[in-house]
Amino acid sequence: MRRHGGVPIVLGGVAFAVVVGGCIEAVVPPSDPVECAVTADCRTDQGEICSEGVCWGDPPAAMFAGVLGPGPAYNSVATTTEIAALYFSSDGWFGDGQSGGITLASAIRVSGQVRAACPAALDTCTGFFAVPGQIRWSRASSIPGLPDVTVSTTMSGINGNGTATGFEVFLPRPTATTLYTVTFNPSTAPLGAGLPSPASLLPPHRVMVTVGPTDQGGLVRDFMLPTGVRTISGRVSLVSAVTLAGWRVHAEAGDGTVQGSLLLASNIATTSTSGDFSLAIGDGVDLVDLVFSPANVPGGGEALPRVRLRDHVVTSPLATVALPKLERIIAAPVVVEGTDSGGGQTGVIGASVIGRLDQPIGAVYLQHEVTTTTATSGLGSLQVLLGTAALPLHYELDVLPGPTSEMASVYGLDLDVGDTVPSPTVRLARVEAQVGTVIDENGFGLPGATVTASVSADSLCELSSDSLRVARGLAPVQAATDDRGEFTLYLDPEFDGTTLTYDITIEPAGGTWAPRWTFQAQPLTSEHRSLWLPPAAHVRSQVFDPGANPAPDTVVTLYELTGKPSPCPQVSLGESGLSVRRAVGTTDDDGIVRLILPRVGLE
């Protein structure tokens, strides 16, 4: 048995709670939990030991990896460190198997410049100039399923061949040759008064760079932007336009992932009075979308429409692009109502209304995205583009009532905007509350825990690509458990005709002895949901800096290596398996981190 606050709790085979009307009435946990006084109070046959009133040890049999984030005191000394495999002893101590704990990777300084040949606009420049912009170094994570490890910084620039500040990044000192992708995006700020910006002159640049064990001390990596880039030259036309000057033009290309994000692939040009433009295209890009943005639209603010020409082959001639006439931006009132507990209609305050336009007009697509948040009486205002009676514009509306609302979201509502101002009213259905209790291994309700519900990967895999892009952007719904461990969530039952299931993650409050856990692909139910957390395993480690001193203020995150594939490529960050975050903690002044893991692995 284990003791919590002097109350013996029997483990194994004995019910800890009373079922009342189909739900669990959990016991309120003691305010002063004490698990042990001496090691004999622990499961010594499993290797546990007693310390600080806690039985440490008997760790889970699953495989784990770790990520260390050093505190600010270690800037330029140590960097984010990945531990691909962690080793646990039966008494709960864990480490990298080499240092008697975990050691932060020492940092290697990489500095340099991104340079380009002097453009004609820089009269005082000779030879080359250092280009200001953002530079990003990234490499594949050594932990399956995690995003790339990325370090970004801003590079300053000067004119001429003198010495510039350039860029400076700190990378983990490699133990083996490591391949980095270096991506540079020129700054959109002008080079000086009356001068163009680097982004208007130069396309983004990407290059592969290796860093190896033989690289010692400070490394210098200078990059010269290529001069012989491919170009796309073209012209726009617009009926009844006085001038065609001022349209901003750029190219976008796919990032090569299954998710299919589009990235800037050219400089950002501006059309001349006759509508001419020329784009410099980055290396390795063969198929692009051309995007045209007006300088302004009557009545418009920051959310201006744009015109997209899809799938242009870089090496093909470009015909004159006929742009649609943009009338003006208007304020369209929108009212969001919901059904209250008495069955009546009431305004929904704080609902997000998103309007999206993606309409083919000739060879191009007219695009616009606008948002508003409803205020008193559920009233909001969408700044939409006015159409005409002959050519109305077809917006689609998504209405999200908010993470604590009792109303259901709606998606894909049609809003046609002709030559008059529309004033739609959206009525939301009431959703059934998802009520449950979070219970720890001893039958206590878990107070103060954060319960987060997000659309499951299984459900995301069933959605079309367009619906998936919307669904991936939905904010998870959260609630906190009360002093008995009870919670209430309001979740959408379906999306675009697909019945949804949810991953429900429990994040225990600090100081509670329970592990973080996710209940995967949970269907909605009208019954009370009892979420029993798995047994807790208390583990700890000491983190050292590169000089073998204890490293305080280091954030330690542990991931379970499941070895399981993603349910579909659309929701995966890699093909080598999924990793699940299980615990996060920060080291104390002695470099010690104390964590709680579930004593079971993902099934």
Query: What CATH number does the domain containing 352 carry?
Result: 2.60.40
d(CA 370, CA 380): 12
Mean pLDDT over 4-15 rounds to 34
Q: Take residue 553 and report the two structure tokens written for it.
A: 């203020």
48, part of any domain: no
Domain check: are 483 and 524 in the same one?
yes
Residue after which a domain boundary falls, among 400, 428, 456: 428
Domain check: are 367 and 494 in the same one?
no
Domain check: are 519 and 535 in the same one?
yes
Domain check: are 397 and 459 in the same one?
no
Domain check: are 408 and 492 in the same one?
no
Among 330, 340, 343, smallest CA distance to 423 is for: 330
Residue after which a domain boundary falls, among 428, 449, 467: 428
462, part of any domain: yes
516, part of any domain: yes
Among 102, 81, 66, 78, smallest CA distance to 170 is for: 78
d(CA 572, CA 566): 6
* 334: pLDDT strictly greater than 50: yes
b/e 232-256 (16+ beta carbons within 10 angstroms → b) = bebebebeeeeebeebbbbbbbeee
pLDDT of residue 288: 96
pLDDT of residue 318: 95
Based on the number of CB atoms within 10 Å of its own CB, is 6 exposed (0-12), middle (13-18) or buried (19 or more)? exposed
pLDDT of residue 447: 95
Q: How confident is the model at residue 260 (pLDDT cuts 50, 70, 90)?
A: low
Domain check: are 480 and 591 in the same one?
yes
Q: What stretch of H or E contains 460? A: helix 457-462
CA quadruple 148, 152, 158, 163: dihedral sign: negative
How much of the chain exceeds pLDDT 90, in percent?
66
Residue after which a domain boundary falls, among 383, 401, 428: 428
Which DSSP string corresponds to 246-302? T-EEEEEEE-SSTT--EEE-B--EE--TT-EEEEEEPTT--EEEEEEE-S--TT--S
Domain check: are 402 and 447 in the same one?
no
CA quadruple 458, 461, 467, 471: dihedral sign: positive
Please, are residues 533 and 50 in contact by the beta-carbon 8 Å criterion? no
Please, are residues 379 and 333 in contact by the beta-carbon 8 Å criterion? yes
Q: Give residues with Cβ within 8 angstroms of 373, minimum separation 6.
A: 350, 351, 352, 353, 380
pLDDT of residue 248: 96
Q: Take residue 603 and report the two structure tokens written for it.
A: 């099934």
Domain check: are 350 and 398 in the same one?
yes
Phi, psi at 542, each rounded to 5°: -115, 130
d(CA 488, CA 482): 10
d(CA 119, CA 201): 8
Please, are residues 556 and 464 in contact by the beta-carbon 8 Å criterion? no
Domain check: are 567 and 502 in the same one?
yes
Classify 245 as helix, strand or coil: coil
Among 190, 80, 186, 209, smallest CA distance to 135 is for: 186
Residue type, 24: I
Residue type, 302: E
DSSP 468: H
- Residue 365 lies in domain: 329-428
487, part of any domain: yes
509, part of any domain: yes
d(CA 599, CA 413): 46
d(CA 261, CA 46): 49
Instruction: Look at the chain and report how many structural domains it folds into.
Output: 2
Domain check: are 421 and 438 in the same one?
no
pLDDT of residue 163: 46
d(CA 545, CA 548): 5
Which DSSP string corresponds to 402-418? -TT-SBPPEEEEEEEE-
CA 533 to chain centre: 27
d(CA 430, CA 338): 7
pTM (predicted TM-score): 0.86
DSSP 44: G
b/e 353-378 (16+ beta carbons within 10 angstroms → b) = bbbbbebeeeebbbbbebebebeeeb
Q: Which residues pair with 480 in a beta bridge?
A: 450
* 554: pLDDT strictly greater than 90: yes
* 123: pLDDT strictly greater than 50: yes
Range in 52-56, 299-303, 438-442, 532-536 with the lowest mean pLDDT? 299-303
b/e 33-42 (16+ beta carbons within 10 angstroms → b) = bbbbeebebb
Domain check: are 423 and 455 in the same one?
no
pLDDT of residue 315: 93
Q: Which residues pair with 555 in a beta bridge?
A: 69, 586
d(CA 400, CA 409): 5
40, part of any domain: no
b/e 67-86 (16+ beta carbons within 10 angstroms → b) = bbbbbeebeeebbbbbbeeb
Domain check: are 495 and 457 in the same one?
yes
416, part of any domain: yes
pLDDT of residue 306: 95
Mean pLDDT over 359-370 rounds to 96
Q: What is the pLDDT of residues 126-181, one digit of tens each?
A: 888 999 999 999 999 999 888 899 999 988 765 444 445 689 999 999 889 999 99
pLDDT of residue 3: 37
d(CA 50, CA 99): 24
Mean pLDDT of the chain: 88
pLDDT of residue 157: 66
Q: What is the pLDDT of residues 412-435, one digit of tens each?
A: 899 999 999 999 999 999 988 999
b/e 446-455 (16+ beta carbons within 10 angstroms → b) = bbbbbbbbbb
How much of the chain exceeds pLDDT 70, in percent?
90
499, part of any domain: yes
Q: What is the CATH number of the domain that holds 441?
A: 2.60.40.1120
CA quadruple 483, 484, 490, 494: dihedral sign: positive
pLDDT of residue 249: 97
